[in-house]
Structure 1
Amino acid sequence: MAGKLAVTHTSNELSGDLRRLGFTEYEARVYIQLLRQSPATAYEISKSTGVPRPNTYQALEALAQRAAVLPVSETPVRYVAAKPSELFDAIARQTQTLCSDLAERLSAIAPSADDQYVWTLRGEVAVHDKIHDLISDSREVIWIKAADEVLRRHKAALRAAAERGVETLIVLFGFDADEFRFTDRCRVYIHEGSGVRMGSADNLFTVAVDHTEMLTAALDGEVTAAHSRNRPIVNLAQSLIRHDYYMAEIFARFGPQIDAEFGPHLKALRMACFSPEQIVSFKQKTGL
């Protein structure tokens, strides 16, 4: 009994996913049954699935038109299911082609005004897909402030950008700047000379691309991001990264004097303006 329930549950899940790809309920049930038992006649399929026989014939005809099933005999007509890997590879290619064509045609009728909105992305996959797209589509320059463990997820895209001549500036939370120096056009600086993450802002990932768009993401806990081409907001993201680059250069030259004046990790300055939560985080991460 438990086995039968498990099979039914799995079939329902598969049927639901097939419907998301445009199959009807009956087409999904017929295709799944043919995967289990092929070849089979319409009568046999109808009896096994509980789909009314006229609806079974309609489903088989529709499935045959999309090459999901194939008739292999004439008297009586028996059907076999197409291999799932081949069928869904074909569907994926067709869908991608259609989506690309639609995007191009719809863009042609959309207003040409600059996109001044701030778009919110939610979820790890959506956020990292957008980061990947920004890096992959870059043409001139990428500025990033991020932790090394996050950047590693996008290392291949960053390397490819560097190799096609994109200038890269990275302010790194981490300890090995050379890991991301792919060409002589990659400038990587350890954040404040130490690479230690502290405070809530330092848990953000920020990237600005080609001086035209930016994304900043919170990657701890619920993963969310804001993406925009709005000029003042892009300038704000670039200013954040630019000033951290300034600080990295200043620390490289005057680190001991700065520590003597303000304490390690600018403790005196941070304690004066951090929230109570940020102070706790600072002490935990620095041991001060």
Structure 2
Amino acid sequence: MTAKIAVVGAVPGTLVADLKRLGFTEYESRIYVQLLRESPATAYEISKTAGVPRPNTYHALEALSQRGAVLPVSETPVRYIAAQPKEFLDSLARRTSDLCASVGNQLANIAQPLDDQYVWTLTGESAVHEKIDSLIDSSQSIIMVKAADDVLRRHAETLRAAAARGVEFLIVLFGQNADEFRFAENSRVYIHEGNGVRMGTTDNLFTITSDRKEMVTAVMAEDVTAVHTRNQPIVNMAESLIRHDYYMAEIFDRLGPEIESNFGPYLRDLRLACFTPEQAASFKVKTGLT
């Protein structure tokens, strides 16, 4: 009995959790993993090695068989094998995608037309980055971005695909290498204020607009959160923020020494006059200025 418990404990908890997200129950997950390890096997053998009560084993095997995850290969007694993971999961993905498309169409026919002016809150790193990729994927004409290079790099492939579709880019970058994000001739990339230094507290913001119709602003700190909206005044405000940073980048490129002589390095005199104490302290640490 001790050996059997060891086998059950060897099933990674994250794997069981992921299988449950795909619709498996706890017992179905254990049984499928065990059959991948050792098959063919009878329900009695599976019950012992997977640590699943026998009545639940029969029920789980029936459900897995209907899904195509396990196959009976003999009679008297019935023995089962597990379907190959890649083939089974590819088939599951196709069925799920088709079902989602069908249900989506049916629900769209039921739903009332919606003028989506709401502001939606997103939490969690995965959800936020998925939303950013989705916004880029759906863009048809122009994307505007203000972001740090390490965050923008996570979306490089999605941006490159959009550039290949002919989407225009206007990017204001916290970083030093603008060429890294010039994916095509229609990609305009500007170093923030001509130096790309991250300062204050807004350097953790990722702001992106698409086709002048929707936007996402994300806080890329320890707890990643974001807002998404198609509310036109808010989208206009986000675009204005990015455009004015583009203006500043061009102005710094042409008049940098004169600006510094009047306002100090990194616009020190202007910034410290309106920063909060916390912002001022962050600015001084990051620039070494007082």
What TM-score do you get using the length of structure 2 for normalisation? 0.89
Whole-angstrom distance in 1 between the partners of 2:258 and 2:73: 83
Deviation at 1:81, TM superposition (A): 1.6
Whole-angstrom distance in 1 between the partners of 2:131 and 2:219: 14
Match in the other structure for 1:60: 61
Match in the other structure for 2:172: 171
Secondary structure of residue in 1 paired with 2:203: helix
Whole-angstrom distance in 1 between the partners of 2:173 and 2:278: 23
Match in the other structure for 1:187: 188
Structure 2 portions without partners, runs of 5+: none
Amino acid at match of 1:268: D
Whole-angstrom distance in 1 between the partners of 2:5 and 2:179: 55
Secondary structure of residue in 1 paired with 2:223: coil
Amino acid at match of 2:105: E
- Report Cα offsets for 1:3-61 as digits up to 9, x if no partner: 766543444835554444333455444434433432122343345545335x5444333
Whole-angstrom distance in 1 between the partners of 2:144 and 2:187: 10
Amino acid at match of 1:279: A
Calculate percent identity across the aligned residue pairs.
64
Match in the other structure for 1:115: 116
Match in the other structure for 1:234: 235
Secondary structure of residue in 2 paired with 1:111: coil
Match in the other structure for 1:93: 94
Match in the other structure for 1:150: 151
Whole-angstrom distance in 1 between the partners of 2:114 and 2:196: 40
Whole-angstrom distance in 2 between the partners of 1:84 and 1:51: 24
Q: RMSD in angstroms over aligned alpha carbons? A: 2.3
Match in the other structure for 2:208: 207
Amino acid at match of 1:8: V
Match in the other structure for 2:45: 44
Whole-angstrom distance in 1 between the partners of 2:43 and 2:122: 46
Match in the other structure for 1:250: 251
- Report Cα offsets for 1:262-287 as digits up to 9, x if no partner: 11111110010001111111111112
Asked whether the 8 Å contact 2:39–2:82 carries over to 1, the reply is yes
Matched, 1:197 2:198: yes
Deviation at 1:2, TM superposition (A): 9.0
Matched, 1:8 2:11: no
Asked whether the 8 Å contact 2:173–2:190 carries over to 1, the reply is yes
Name the CA shift for 1:255/1:128 in 2 (closer, same or farther; >3 Å): same
Name the CA shift for 1:257/1:3 in 2 (closer, same or farther; >3 Å): farther
Matched positions, count: 287
Name the CA shift for 1:202/1:31 in 2 (closer, same or farther; >3 Å): closer
Secondary structure of residue in 1 paired with 2:216: strand
What TM-score do you get using the length of structure 1 for normalisation? 0.90
Asked whether the 8 Å contact 2:4–2:48 carries over to 1, the reply is no
Name the CA shift for 1:230/1:83 in 2 (closer, same or farther; >3 Å): same
Name the CA shift for 1:6/1:215 in 2 (closer, same or farther; >3 Å): farther
Deviation at 1:113, TM superposition (A): 2.2
* Higher alpha-carbon deviation: 233-242 or 8-17: 8-17
Secondary structure of residue in 1 paired with 2:227: strand
Structure 1 portions without partners, runs of 5+: none
